[in-house]
Structure 1
């Protein structure tokens, strides 16, 4: 499940047959998830979730040229999926902690998928499970979620050595009982990572981004 929580200006409601009563917001200018191009919009509504889901499902079912809509409950999310030609779209909604309901509408193009490539050389034993490339306001970034069977100390040391060999300069390394925070810079780019101790090793969440223009 893609979990995104970014704020952006409103987009035109009605995109992907979403009812006009729901205002959609852009998330990034361009996004590629695990090598698959994706366009995502976020929303918040005070309408009951069941009513919203039914409205979207009815709109998506209206055109017989499309495949049938699948509806799945994945608590706390309710999810709709449908294939439209060479593209696939999904709708997901859940209760918002601030009241009302929130969610996302996504359109993907599986036929245009390419092998995702990390922007940094990951050390042996650090395996990526998700790579998200995005461009927002002209600033490109890549988020990597990876796992390691080694401790956060061993994984952090291996990650630092790999980055240092590529010319990155560490400027933050902080550790507590369960997490390790690591940051580095190189030639106009920033690297940030949070390593979390897990039962069978470590989870590593990394972000590589262009530094903001002055």
Structure 2
């Protein structure tokens, strides 16, 4: 008897891996990833397979979540099955040697329940004025275009290369230096006429 007790004690110390999460207090969420955590010793196997089970159901629920998990990690995020997470209570996490050896359980979690995550995701909305609200913060998006204005119309060229102005001066009264030139020409003309008259006389 003492030999059997010693052998059982040795086996228990040699395989000390224990599941620390999930627990019956934390459970698993019905959406997104969930966390599986464990403790181990150097004598534990180097890897294992994580299986989600519910033995209270008929037939028994069994779903492999991850295989060849490195024991030294201590924690891992597991994705939901292709059909999504189940609902209800009485679920457990089993750490087994492989998917083909479901009978060799290294460690098992306590019973837990799937729960709906609390909180809501941020709602993103957009208004016509260009403001966007995301997670309680308002972002103002500027999307205004400015149209360049022209202060003068472009000039066009005639066939001989001269520029045709877009505006014309309709005034007939000379101003500035142009008036002085006109006055000088007129005086010279009258002087020429007087000279010719004197010669003819």
Whose helix fraction is larger, Structure 1's or Structure 2's?
2
Structure with max Cα Rg: 2
TM norm. shorter chain > 0.5: no
TM-score (norm 1): 0.19
Whose strand fraction is larger, Structure 1's or Structure 2's?
1
TM-score (norm 2): 0.20
